[in-house]
A and B are shown apart, each in its own frame.
Chain A
């Protein structure tokens, strides 16, 4: 009533008081006020004229009485008051400040008389209706907005304002939300004023005591509107952002917000709430849809809302004080990402999961603030859900044939496009860093440029043979190996060759565009990666440090493994690579240990975790299996080992060394054992499932949460021990003989060879025994045999990734154990023997691995020689004479091992060394190093092949090349080829496997896969670039390079086309059409955008491009051939293949001329 008119009126008022005498204004003001007071008092006779407080007290005392006397104000008086107040406010607003910033007289009067308070309280008493609130709000808005003096500096103005706000605090949604709107507007203005004039902040804090924390009020009033839509929400968020920016400079505010308000939780839970209101399933309108672009999400209001909130979080993160930031990000991580998004990514139905993946992709693309992006990325990379890394789950989904796979690919395209070192590390680089897929020569040539486009030529050679390239030169001979070009004199030919003319220019001129785009992409990635911590060029980060415990050790494919076994010499495999992490640099150890996060550690290492850390062995095993299966077979299970809680370092060292030793020997066995055992496994699957369930349950029980020291698993122990005992004889005999022989033998190399042969015999025999045994022990009852931690821990994945069908059957951890149960029978003794071997050869002293392996050894030992050991028991079980019954606490300490070791040694007829038994890592390491050196020497003798790459084929006898060779020789040759099967990571494997399926994939998948590969290829890091663009045969057949996949696709295409003679014509026609359309589209686009890239033709009269270049009308385009719908994707795939080759060749060429990011001159720029 009062102020609205004023406000409304004032906005249009053009009256100024510039010429008016201030004295006059004062007098007028006072007069008006007197009138108002008269009217007010007429209706509040009991009111005293002192301060507000007395007024209040008076109010209370006389409220009942006064209320009776309060009647409605007669309208004419109300309008009189309204007028007076209007004038008064205007006068107040227009008054200038006095000299030196002192209060103007009117303001002084207002302050002294408590005018604003009185007005407020008056309306408060008069049934503070919505309208009255509105009036008051508007009054203050106007004052704030337009007053020339800093009104907020004065408590008598501030206090009623605060009281007004407080009274509006409980404002429920009124009719139309007008009050809310005005309130928020006022709050917005207040915040802005606060920021402009931080001295007011003092008042806020200062008045906090008597006002009951006014500052809180301002902020806490805004909080409920944070997630509101519409103008109100927008203004509230703006106000909050203003406060955030204030907090960045005012630590008090920051502290208050962070500690005393619920701002951050509200934000985070708001996100969660908004997310849960998103549609669980999106209506996908086309099969090729794979990501939510702007047109899509604008149609879903809930999504728009969510994105706005996300933007707000970004903005807050950007503007606010670091303490608020970190708190907010924490809440977002723990309150939204982990509890809401993680389960959403693991929902049961494929559509829901696909939708969530699409959402996640959209969120990542929408976040503009690095800190918030870091939160999301660390969620993806580091968080584990059900012991599986989110990243691994996502990688595994890439291989699904449904739309989920496509959407997952799109997500990875986004992730890779971020140029984030952490993401690339986890996805790609940590598998490439050990350089296990490269031989020495290749590694040294990582840094060198491919000056002569050799890989480009090879890529281009893979173009389909019927591809219509320009055959103008009739002189080309029929043999394809050498192209003889005419000399320069024959200008007519040289003129035309290579230059695109005729109808086929389209096919080749776009190569220029590829070159251009490649250059852009490469320079973009150079620029983006200049902030990375390391150049990833094979030298930094150094391969040695990461070789032993990165997933390069993972054996993913059984076939790969077998090939590996066959291609390398037995001895180099039997003696596993030296555990390079044991080099005496603690930092590298720590790094390598911590590198075991998640899927870093092979399943082997995780076996050890059972002893020293409560781990879910089954899951880790399954993970390792799944890795292999995901990489090779395209299965869905993508679980991976959880990061083990780090046991003491020396334990890890032992573990690692044991792993190496074990795996080496185990690897060799796979090719013998697999088929037999695997088929047996299939037969016994059901029983195993039951057993596994028990194991799993037992493992869970034995994990840290419920530590009762119970037996971990009875079933496994049972079978394990069964196998041991039945085959114990043979094993022990051989072990015995071996040990004895070894002790006597001086020649290490001979030992190795013999041992390998022995191993094969042992293990073959044992595995057969085991198989038989397993069949018979199916129905054994449970007993309290504790599992020997070592035995269980030797459940290796290596040889028993099993055939596809085995793995495909396993959809969860239960199934995964199956092959492993076979495994450990094969492995354990080997391990032990290995350990024995290493223990004895240098004969220095013991170390814990030996103790551990003792356990397994002791079991077979116990078979034919009952010993009073804890571990072993001879045939005391009536039902099954082979079941040892000892109880062994899972987490036994070293003393037991030692005693058992002694006993075992004695039983073997070998004197146990009585040296100091300590967990002395250094000595252990040194021993291992000695072993390693011996191994290397032996390997040199055996002359494993070097497989030099073909490009550097000249004998180097001068220049830097020779030097390079020598120095590399020294450091590299010894340690380069000794570790396990190289593995380039599941992500690359899965990408390449999808690429290999090019002809069958949908168009969207093909586009995404080639797009991702092209983007990866444009990364500047030599490791990645050389892996993707190198055309050399890799040293290890287990590693599949992009070039090999392309060759295979080429062969597929040739085969396909060979059967269909008319196909090339069809494809060519489609190709031309697509290219022409593409050219045309690009042309029009650049014309319309008038980009700077477009170079105007200076030679033309007006220099305008538009006039110079005739726009080929669309009708001139070659006709689109009619292709039957089912063949569309295949035709497109072939066209895409050829274009992809061009793209890769262009990228390779551009890489050869790009300046290096990490060289000096680049850093000077």
Chain B
């Protein structure tokens, strides 16, 4: 079920990766989606240590099969890990943050953050998240702003946000990408100046807040002025802004609001399914008092 238009697109990316390769050999399968004419995709390098670290050896897993199996299924694991991460991001409903995995690689996510309060109010900052290819066993992901924002923790040259200080060691199952995004939001509300990547900003914040504020305002204005630029990285799924165009945007808006109606897929077969006569709160079958059973 599609919660989010992004979802379906990102789901399709996984298939497209494979279909590109299979097509050359053996033709389309039913499950493979259309091949979009964007040229061959750049495949992510197979991650190191695709197997989970802990394997219950007492289970008697045979040694030989590990090789081959992982060789074949490694990409699946990575892809699904990233999809799961994305699902978690959606679940979190981070305020003001929107991300979209890129078309070319699930390891690169585009994003934009809207700052609604505080010093950086009205800031709209586009960024890109770079996830290491040995996720989740590698380092923490990188977050790079398209335009370096004036902030102590943002490198003024590369635009990279210092995420590492929040995640000294990236631990799988405990650290998730949504936390990185959350962190990216937090730094704009709670400014920290220790070990800054942008020493000038840090110093200004501590000594001359007024000047800091004015520089922030300038930076915000700068970012916003570049809002309608072409995306920095060429990619079909890159986030791009454009002025309101009723022809395009009105329809999209309609669709979004009408989205609530879940598209019921064609039910094959007449069999009833999805029944419950259990009274909520009890675990007795057929305990519902009101007669009409639901289906």
Chain A residues with CB under 8 Å of chain B are 322, 326, 365, 367-371, 373-374, 377-378, 381-382, 417-423, 425-426, 429-430, 433, 448-454, 456-458, 460-473, 476, 479-488, 494-495, 497-501, 505, 507-509, 511-513, 515-516, 523, 526-534, 541, 546, 591, 594-595, 597, 950-954, 956, 958-959, 961, 1031-1033, 1043-1044, 1047, 1050-1051, 1054, 1079, 1082-1083, 1086, 1091, 1093-1099, 1105, 1108-1110, 1112, 1145, 1149, 1152-1156, 1159, 1161-1162, 1164-1165
Contacts and interface: CB of A to CB of B under 8 A. Distances in A.
B293 A467 contact: no
Given A480-B63, A1153-B83, A1097 B35 contact: yes
Given A370-B272, A513-B29, A483 B73 contact: no
Interface stretch (B85-93, B185-193, B202-210): B85-93
A451 B88 contact: yes
Contacts of B130: none
Contacts of B55: 458, 461, 481
A492 to B, nearest CB: 11
Contacts of A429: 283
Contact of A369 (B22, B63, B70, B272): B272
20 contacts: A367-B272, A374-B277, A420-B276, A451-B84, A457-B73, A461-B66, A465-B64, A468-B68, A483-B50, A485-B48, A505-B22, A508-B72, A511-B72, A534-B283, A591-B284, A1099-B37, A1112-B27, A1152-B80, A1153-B86, A1161-B3
Contact of B283 (A425, A482, A1032): A425
Contact of A497 (B22, B46, B279, B294): B46
A533 B88 contact: no
A523 B60 contact: no
Given A484-B48, A591-B283, A373 B275 contact: yes
Contacts of A591: 282-284
Contacts of B274: 419-420, 527-531
Contacts of A472: 71
Contacts of A420: 273-277
B62 A1161 contact: no
Interface residues of B, number: 95
B32 A532 contact: no
A449 B71 contact: no
Contacts of B68: 463, 467-471
> Residue among B60, B172, B173 with the most chain A CB within 10 A?
B173
Contacts of B93: 1161
B199 interface: no
Given A419-B274, A486-B45, A595-B283, A460 B69 contact: yes
Contact of A469 (B26, B36, B69): B69
A381 B35 CA distance: 50
A451 B173 contact: yes
Contacts of A1083: 29-30
Contacts of B90: 1155, 1161
Contacts of B281: 533-534, 541
Contacts of A481: 51, 55, 66
A757 to B, nearest CB: 32
Contacts of B260: 1164-1165
Contact of A1033 (B37, B58, B64, B286): B58
A426 B287 CA distance: 13
B45 to A, nearest CB: 4
Contacts of B225: none
A587 B60 CA distance: 47
Contacts, number: 354
B241 to A, nearest CB: 25
B243 to A, nearest CB: 30
Contact of A471 (B67, B88, B276, B294): B67
Contacts of A454: 52
B73 A460 contact: yes
Contacts of B262: 1165
A482 B293 CA distance: 54
Nearest to A494: B45
B284 A595 contact: yes
B85 A451 contact: yes
Contacts of A382: 285-286
Contact of B28 (A425, A468, A958, A1109): A1109
Contacts of A1032: 56
Contact of A952 (B22, B35, B173, B284): B173
Contacts of B292: 371
Given A452-B136, A499-B21, A529-B274, A374 B293 contact: yes
A1109 B32 CA distance: 13
B18 A512 contact: yes
Q: Which 6 residue pairs of A and B lie closest in terms of their CB atoms, listed nearest first? A: A528-B274, A469-B68, A422-B285, A488-B45, A480-B66, A421-B276
A49 B250 CA distance: 81
B157 interface: no
A819 B55 CA distance: 43
Contacts of A368: 270-272
A953 to B, nearest CB: 6
Contacts of B282: 533, 591, 594
A1153 B80 contact: yes
> Residue among A461, A513, A954 with the most chain B CB within 10 A?
A461
A1145 B282 CA distance: 33
Contacts of A417: 271, 273
A523 B2 CA distance: 10
A426 B69 contact: no
A471 B15 contact: no
A636 to B, nearest CB: 25
B172 A452 contact: yes
A96 B43 CA distance: 80
B65 interface: yes
Contacts of A532: 276, 278
Contacts of B56: 458, 950, 1031-1033
Contact of A1105 (B1, B28, B65): B28
B77 A453 contact: yes
A1153 B90 CA distance: 11
Contacts of A377: 275, 286
Given A469-B71, A470-B72, A531-B294, A422 B52 contact: no
B255 interface: no
A378 B69 contact: no
B71 A483 contact: yes
Nearest to A476: B67
A480 B276 contact: no
Given A425-B285, A534-B283, 8 more contacts: A421-B275, A467-B69, A488-B44, A497-B74, A511-B76, A595-B283, A1155-B87, A1165-B1
B275 A374 contact: yes
A528 B86 CA distance: 25
A515 to B, nearest CB: 8
Nearest to B26: A505
B245 interface: no
A451 B85 CA distance: 7
A456 B69 contact: no
B174 interface: yes
Nearest to A528: B274
Nearest to A471: B68
Given A374-B286, A451-B173, A533 B278 contact: yes
Contacts of A373: 272, 275, 293
Contacts of B50: 457, 483, 485
Contact of B71 (A471, A501, A1031): A471
A1038 B22 CA distance: 46
B258 interface: no
A1090 to B, nearest CB: 11
A95 to B, nearest CB: 46
Contacts of A1153: 80, 83-84, 86-87
A461 B34 contact: no
A710 to B, nearest CB: 35
Given A465-B65, A527-B274, A1155 B22 contact: no
